[in-house]
Structure 1
Amino acid sequence: MFRTALRNVLAHKARLLMTVLAVMLGVAFVSGTLVFTSTISDAYQKSSQKGFTGVDVAIQPHREDGDKGKPGAAPDLGQGLLDRAAKVPGAASVTGSVNGFAAISDKKGKLLGEGFASSGANYYPGTGGKDPRYPMKSGRAPQAKGEIALDATTADRAGYKVGDTVRVSVNGPVLPQKVTGIFTTDDGNVAAGGSLALFDTPTAQKLYAKPGRFSEIDVKAAPGTSQTALKTELDKILPRDAEATTGKKLADDQAKIIATGMNGMKDGLLIFAGISLFVGIFIIANTFTMLVSQRTKELALMRAVGASRRQVTRSVLIEAFVVGAVAAVAGLVAGIGIGSGLRALMNGTGATVPDGPLVIPPSAIISSLVVGIVVTMLAAWLPGRRAAKIPPVAAMNSVHAVATTRSLVVRNSIGAVLAAAGVALVLVSKTQSILGMGAALLLVGVFVLTPLLSRPLIAAAAPVLRVFGISGKLARQNAVRNPRRTAATASALMIGLTLITGLTVIAGSVSKAIDKMATEAIKADYIVSMASRTPLSPDVEKKLSALDGVTASSPLRQSPSRIDGDFQQLVGVNSKTITDLTKLDFTKGSFAGLSGNKVVVDDKTARSYGWKLGSTLDTTFEDGKRGKLTVSGVYVGNDLMRGIMVDTRTLAPHQSEITDQQVMVKTKAGVSEASKESLHKALGDNPAILVQDKKDISESIAGAINLMLNMLYGLLAMAVIVAVLGVVNTLAMSVFERSQEIGMLRAIGLDRKGIKRMVRLESLVISLFGGVLGIGLGVFLGWAAGELIRNAMATYELVLPWGRMGIFLLLAAAVGVLAALWPARRAARLNMLSAIKAE
């Protein structure tokens, strides 16, 4: 039986090629994902570990007092602690570090680096006046205010040299700086496409901390002293608000963070790989059904000479094993290429990845083999089992086992129950997990019911098909001749279009909701913020409010606090101008009472704590001082405006450092290019600062959504490609089974063009059937997901993207036309006499 199975594989190489391709694509997606994420993770981990090579123990600020004391962050470390650390037994040297955000403009005024990865730090001269972390490639280290050193990668990218003047922004105002040196670094952010600017230590402390304060103290162990021993000694001198961590633990923690970040990407990509493999199951099942039907008499003869049912089934499974193994190996090789290509693609789009070798993890090899072989054998098991159940005499007489009425009733009943259960779960779902379970049950239920649905839906196309004469009539009849096969083919396309349509509905609706939210909640003409979303200097708001064309402005400041024992963010606003800049709906009270110790609270926060108009809030401010705030208004919050708002004059005395998250601005001229240009010019044409109107805010969020949507389209394209192979497979099977019939049609006068048209129309009908089901299910599931989103986003409303849905339907039609090219040509070229004599 084993030799027979191998001969059958070699005898049907062309037919099995489609199965190999379907499995290979899915396996390549799985292995490529694992190779890509492992390579990127390894590169980032090694790059980050280099940054800890000179650190044996790091002292960092740390707050351990839980709900007691100050709710703000732990204070930076002082010079006294650094001096004491230098005298600890086993300490060879100490380095005080200060760091934060530093945006660097190129010579055309555009922002260099990757936004959040644009950082600044201090050059700390140690032994011999040098900082071993940043060896100078040319020039010297910064020594005074107005001087910086640039990393070599950034300097090369922008064309900066020693002596050039660059525009730098830390928290808003532009700071012209002279480049005194170019250095090399192992910093992982720089390796990943970011930038690094170094200031002298006093300047960096003024920009990022306070004079004489450090954000971290790194200690190098003397020869013969272990990291653990050094940490033990340092623990003895640490104040309450600081902790010591070994360099090894820092590197390990960083590696875990990177691995966790990669896991999200890996899981997402593997989901789409699973979808492709699931779609591929239909193709594999159809392929083996066709191969078994071709060998019905052969299998019957084997049964007649003594082969058991198990042996027949086993021979089919052996074929599947061989095909799966070949596809798995090919998929693994293709996956390695995909992983390497994705890395190159990231580098090509500007998202620089640290250098490192291509990593092929054991999980990629094992997963490829297991997935490819198991999926193929599972899909081939049912056709093999069905073939083994055909009685030998019936098979020898070419009496094929057709589906009985009882089996169809059972199938339709199961499908109806599953679909009904899925719809019920979707309708009552309050969480994403229940919605996902309901969607899965609904998809399976519709798949089971697809043979039943195929007849009425395909019959609806009859008036259009009549236009094509006898070819159209025959195409409709052929499409419903084997409902199960048609259903399996249409379902492969249905799944891909369901996901694509559902995601499009959700994305379009969310974009509309955000646009509506910005329009309804904000009266300000512009929102000013840092491009990196880091805090703004209060000087920005002062500068803007002093402009002649500005009629009102208000900062949005955040300060950590503890209210009634729970952590809360207080949002500081200008109580005199906030009513001119926002249009929030108040359920009780208003902004009129917002002054002194009065606050306004969003409705959700008020409900969760039971606060009402006049409620007193026991508050611990950022500096640890206690006070009482009184609720003077409750407003309807949203994602753009929410929280506990307090006057900035009340908040400022308690803040260790005053910074703004955003600044709202209203101008006399309103929204116009001239107004925006004047604001930009007032801020020194700083590329690190964003000046956005409501349309810009909506478009930036919509742009991010569309970018993600396009990425998902690209990933789901794999499932569509697999579906195309499925349609080709089904048509090829249909042509094979109807060889005699096609020969007779040719004999009685239907020409080759008519045969081609018949096959193409059959393919088109099947594809459009799957497309209509997919779009319908996608709209339903998109609506259901939107109901969950509506609970968190009051402005959400369903938006049906009619234009894109029309494109998706055209895509389904294109799939049908393309998939029919080879089967139609093959059918038209059949020799009519040979076909008539075929059994």
Structure 2
Amino acid sequence: MFRTALRNVLAHKARLLMTVLAVMLGVAFVSGTLVFTSTISAAQQKSSEKGFTGVDVAIQPHRQDGDKGNPGDAPKLSQRLLDQAAAVPGAAGATGTVSGFAAIADKHGELIGEGFNSTGANYYAGTGGKDARYPLKSGRAPHGPGEIALDAKTAERGGYKVGDTVRVSVDGPVLQQKLAGVFTTDDGNVSAGGSLALFDTATAQKLYGKPGEFSEIHVKAAAGTSQAALKSAVEKVLPADAEATTGKQLADEQARMIAQDQDAQRTILLTFAGIALFVGIFIIANTFTMLVAQRTKELALMRAVGASRRQVTRSVLIEAFLIGTVAGVAGLVTGIGIGVGLRSLLKGNGAPLPDGPLVVEPSTIVVSLAVGILVTMLSAWLPGRRAAKIPPVAAMNSVHAVPTTRSLVVRNSLGATLTAIGAAIVLTASGSQMMGLGAGVVLIGVFVLTPLLSRPLIAAAAPVLRLFGMPGKLARQNAVRNPRRTAATASALMIGLTLITGLTVIAGSVQQAIDKMATSSMKADYVVSMASMTSLSPDVEKKLAAHPDVTATSPLRMSPSRIDGEFQNLTGVNGATIGKLTKLDFTSGSFAGLSGDKVVIDDATARSYHWKLGSSVPVTFEDGKKGTLTVSGVYKGNDLMRGIMVDTKTIAPHQSEISDRQVMVKTKNGAGESVKESLRKTLGDNPAVQIQTKKDISNGIAKGINLLLNVLYGLLAMAVVVAVLGVINTLAMSVFERQQEIGMLRAIGLDRKGIKRMVRLESLVISLFGGVMGIGLGVFFGWAAGDLIAKALNTYELVLPWGRMGLFLLLAAVVGVLAALWPARRAAKLNMLSAIKAE
């Protein structure tokens, strides 16, 4: 039986090639995902380990329980604590670190690196006036508030040399700094494409904290002292608001966080690999069903000469094992190339990925081969088992060829029941889990019903097919001749288009909801913020307010507080102008008189605290002082505007450091490029500061949505490619099955052009059937998901992207036309006499 199975594989090389490709693509996606995530994870962990070199114990701020201390108090690490840590037994020295955001502009005024990876820190001059973390490549360490040092990669990208003037922004205003030195570093942030600027310690403390205070203190152990022993010694001098952690613990925690991030990415990518494999299952099962059907007499003869049912099933599974092994190996090799290419592609597009060697773990090899073999054998098991059950005499007479009516009735009844149950769950669901369950049941039900649905939907195309004469009529009859086969072929394409359409519907609806939200809640012409979303200096608002074209400004300024024992952010605004800059729907009260102890709150916060107009709000400000605020308005919050708003003059006396999250600006003549450019010049042409109109905000969100959507399209394209292979495979094998029929058609007058047209139209009808079903299901899932999204995004409305759905249907038609090229050509080349005699 093994030799027979091997002979069958070798005898049907051309017909099984498409099956191998379908499995190979799915396996390649799986192995490529594992290689990519393993490589990036290993590189990030290596960078993280380098970052903790020389750190044996780290002292970090540690806030006590949430109900202790003042809301705004952050634990501080003082110079006194640093000196004490450096003097403990077993310590070889200690380094104080200060860090924050620092945007570096190149000589053309453009931001170097990604905004979120632009970091500033202190050069801690220790023994010999050097900082061992940052070996100088040229120049010297920075001294005083007017000097800076840059990492070598940033200096090279910006075209800077020692002595040049560098434009730097920490919180808005532009600082003109002299480049004192260039250093090298193993910092993972820099290797991933970020930038690192160093100030002297006093300057960094002034920019990022307070004089004499540090973000962390790193203690180095003396020779012969373990990290655990040093930690015990350091803990004896720690205040209550600080904690000590060994360098190994920090590295392990960093590695754990990196692994978590990679697990999330791996799960997303493997989900799409699973979709491609799921589509492949349809193709493989369809292929083996047709192969078994073509070899029915051969299998019956084997049964007649003594082969058991188990041996027949086993021979089919052996074929599947051999095909799956070949496909698994090819998919593994291809996947390694995909992993390398994906990393290069993302780095080429500016993604912050660290450098590192390619990592192919043993588990990747095992998983890839196992997936290829198991998916193929699982898909082939049912056709093999079905073939083994056919009585030899019936098989020799081809009695089995047509599916029984009873089996179709059972299938249709099961499909209708599942679809009805799923629809009922979706319509009555109150949460995302039940909604997802219902949608999944509907999808399964429609899959089961696809053979039944194929007849009326394909029949609807009859008037168009008649225009093509006899080839069109034959194409329609061929498409509905075996509804199970048609359904299996169309389902592969249907899955991909279902997901693509559903995602497009959701993305388009969310984008319109965001547009509507931005338009309906803001009167401001511009919103000014840092590109990194870090804090703005209050000087930014002062400069904007002094601009001759500006009529009103208001900051959004966060101040932590405690209300009813819970931490809540108070949002400081200009009470006199906020009403001119926002357009919020108040359920009671208004912005009028927002000053002193008056506050306005969003409706969700009001409900959670049972507040209403006139309610008293006891509050503990960030400096620990207590007060009572009065609710003077309740508005409907949204994702752009929500929270407790209070006049900035009310919270300013309680703030130790004043900074803004963003500034809203209204001008005389509304938004325009000339005014925008004028505002930009007022702020010193700072690349780290973004000035956005309502449209810019919406487009920025849209850009992120479209980028995500394009990535998903690219991932789902794998499923569509596999579906194309399925259509080609089905048509090619169908042509082989119908050799006698095609030969007879040629003999009675249908020319080669007519044969080609018949096969192409059959492919087109099957592909369009899958396209219509996929788009319909996609709209349904988009609607179901939108019903849940609308609960969190109150401006959400279902938007059907008719243009894109038309494009998807056209894509299905193109798939049908392309998939039919080779089978149609093959059918037209058949010799009519040889085909008529073929068995």
- Name segments (4+ residues, structure 1) moved above 4 Å: none
Q: CA deviation at 1:549?
A: 1.1
Map 1:621-636; keep pairs closer than 5 Å.
621-636=621-636
The amino acid of 1:470's aligned partner reads M
Q: Distance in 2 between matches of 1:281 and 1:309?
A: 23
Preserved contact between residue 73 and residue 623 of structure 2 (Cα < 8 Å): no
Structure 2 counterpart of 1:147: 147
Structure 2 counterpart of 1:490: 490
1:569 and 2:556 correspond: no
Preserved contact between residue 35 and residue 339 of structure 1 (Cα < 8 Å): yes
Task: Indicate the SS of the match to 2:142.
Answer: coil
Percent of paired sites with the same residue: 79
CA distance 1:604–1:770, change in 2 (3 Å): same
Structure 2 counterpart of 1:598: 598
Structure 2 counterpart of 1:746: 746
Q: Report how many residues are paired.
A: 839
Structure 2 counterpart of 1:587: 587
TM-score by length of 1: 0.99
Q: Distance in 1 between matches of 2:6 and 2:73?
A: 69
Q: Distance in 1 between matches of 2:24 and 2:257?
A: 32
Q: CA deviation at 1:14?
A: 1.3
Q: CA deviation at 1:827?
A: 0.5
Preserved contact between residue 390 and residue 401 of structure 1 (Cα < 8 Å): no
Task: Indicate the SS of the match to 2:399.
Answer: coil
Task: Indicate the SS of the match to 2:112.
Answer: coil
Structure 2 counterpart of 1:362: 362
Q: Distance in 2 between matches of 1:24 and 1:626?
A: 67
* 1:583-620 C-alpha deviation (Å, 9 max, x unpaired): 10100111113211221110011112211112222222
Q: CA deviation at 1:398?
A: 2.9
* 1:303-343 C-alpha deviation (Å, 9 max, x unpaired): 00111111111110111111111111111111111111111
Q: Distance in 2 between matches of 1:192 and 1:421?
A: 50
Q: CA deviation at 1:794?
A: 1.0
Q: Distance in 1 between matches of 2:232 and 2:691?
A: 50
Structure 1 residue runs of 5 or longer lacking an equivalent are none
1:206 and 2:206 correspond: yes
* 1:703-722 C-alpha deviation (Å, 9 max, x unpaired): 10000000000000000000
Task: Indicate the SS of the match to 2:400.
Answer: coil
Preserved contact between residue 588 and residue 633 of structure 2 (Cα < 8 Å): yes
Q: Distance in 2 between matches of 1:625 and 1:352?
A: 44
Q: Which moved more, 1:258-267 or 1:99-108?
A: 258-267
Q: Distance in 2 between matches of 1:700 and 1:746?
A: 60
Structure 2 counterpart of 1:250: 250
Structure 1 counterpart of 2:108: 108
Task: Indicate the SS of the match to 2:144.
Answer: coil
Q: Which moved more, 1:290-299 or 1:98-107?
A: 290-299
Structure 2 counterpart of 1:197: 197
Task: Indicate the SS of the match to 1:591.
Answer: coil
The amino acid of 1:810's aligned partner reads L
Q: Distance in 1 between matches of 2:390 and 2:655?
A: 83
Preserved contact between residue 137 and residue 184 of structure 1 (Cα < 8 Å): yes
Structure 2 counterpart of 1:503: 503
The amino acid of 1:458's aligned partner reads I
Structure 2 counterpart of 1:159: 159
Q: Distance in 1 between matches of 2:459 and 2:489?
A: 17
Task: Indicate the SS of the match to 1:562.
Answer: strand
* 1:193-248 C-alpha deviation (Å, 9 max, x unpaired): 00000001111110001111111111101111111111111111111111111111
The amino acid of 1:200's aligned partner reads D
RMSD: 1.0
Task: Indicate the SS of the match to 1:92.
Answer: strand
Map 1:713-792; keep pairs closer than 5 Å.
713-792=713-792
Q: CA deviation at 1:382?
A: 1.0
Structure 1 counterpart of 2:546: 546
CA distance 1:325–1:73, change in 2 (3 Å): farther
Structure 2 counterpart of 1:6: 6
The amino acid of 1:60's aligned partner reads Q
Q: Distance in 1 between matches of 2:432 and 2:722?
A: 28
Q: Distance in 1 between matches of 2:355 and 2:91?
A: 33
Task: Indicate the SS of the match to 1:593.
Answer: coil
Q: Distance in 1 between matches of 2:187 and 2:73?
A: 25
Map 1:296-445; keep pairs closer than 5 Å.
296-445=296-445
Structure 2 counterpart of 1:819: 819
Q: CA deviation at 1:167?
A: 0.5
Q: Which moved more, 1:824-833 or 1:12-21?
A: 12-21
Map 1:600-615; keep pairs closer than 5 Å.
600-615=600-615
The amino acid of 1:56's aligned partner reads D
Q: Distance in 1 between matches of 2:420 and 2:775?
A: 19
The amino acid of 2:298's aligned partner reads E
Structure 2 counterpart of 1:274: 274
Task: Indicate the SS of the match to 1:68.
Answer: coil
Structure 1 counterpart of 2:664: 664
Preserved contact between residue 293 and residue 401 of structure 2 (Cα < 8 Å): no
Preserved contact between residue 422 and residue 441 of structure 2 (Cα < 8 Å): yes
Structure 2 counterpart of 1:68: 68
1:794 and 2:794 correspond: yes
1:97 and 2:85 correspond: no
Q: Distance in 2 between matches of 1:683 and 1:601?
A: 32
Preserved contact between residue 561 and residue 622 of structure 1 (Cα < 8 Å): yes
Preserved contact between residue 76 and residue 209 of structure 1 (Cα < 8 Å): no
Structure 2 counterpart of 1:264: 264
Q: CA deviation at 1:624?
A: 2.2
* 1:523-549 C-alpha deviation (Å, 9 max, x unpaired): 000000000011100110111111111
* 1:419-462 C-alpha deviation (Å, 9 max, x unpaired): 11222222223333222222221111111101000010000001
The amino acid of 2:755's aligned partner reads I
Task: Indicate the SS of the match to 1:72.
Answer: coil
Q: Distance in 2 between matches of 1:425 and 1:621?
A: 48
Q: Distance in 2 between matches of 1:838 and 1:566?
A: 83
Preserved contact between residue 71 and residue 561 of structure 1 (Cα < 8 Å): yes
Q: CA deviation at 1:287?
A: 1.0
Q: Distance in 2 between matches of 1:379 and 1:161?
A: 64
1:293 and 2:279 correspond: no
Structure 2 counterpart of 1:455: 455
Q: Distance in 2 between matches of 1:198 and 1:391?
A: 83
Q: Which moved more, 1:256-265 or 1:764-773?
A: 256-265
Task: Indicate the SS of the match to 2:66.
Answer: coil
Q: Distance in 2 between matches of 1:542 and 1:227?
A: 50
CA distance 1:615–1:293, change in 2 (3 Å): same
Q: CA deviation at 1:357?
A: 1.3
Q: Distance in 2 between matches of 1:169 and 1:139?
A: 22
Q: CA deviation at 1:352?
A: 4.2
Q: Distance in 1 between matches of 2:270 and 2:521?
A: 39
Q: CA deviation at 1:65?
A: 2.5
Q: Distance in 2 between matches of 1:465 and 1:623?
A: 79
The amino acid of 2:741's aligned partner reads E
Q: Distance in 1 between matches of 2:647 and 2:717?
A: 52
1:15 and 2:11 correspond: no
Q: CA deviation at 1:567?
A: 2.0
Q: Distance in 2 between matches of 1:279 and 1:181?
A: 58
TM-score by length of 2: 0.99
Task: Indicate the SS of the match to 2:176.
Answer: strand
Q: Distance in 2 between matches of 1:796 and 1:73?
A: 39
Q: CA deviation at 1:838?
A: 1.4
The amino acid of 2:635's aligned partner reads Y
Q: Distance in 2 between matches of 1:644 and 1:549?
A: 30
1:513 and 2:510 correspond: no
Q: Which moved more, 1:520-529 or 1:602-611?
A: 602-611
Q: Distance in 1 between matches of 2:320 and 2:580?
A: 71
Task: Indicate the SS of the match to 1:750.
Answer: coil
* 1:47-75 C-alpha deviation (Å, 9 max, x unpaired): 11101001111111110232222223523
Task: Indicate the SS of the match to 2:336.
Answer: helix
The amino acid of 1:290's aligned partner reads M
Structure 2 residue runs of 5 or longer lacking an equivalent are none
Q: CA deviation at 1:397?
A: 2.2
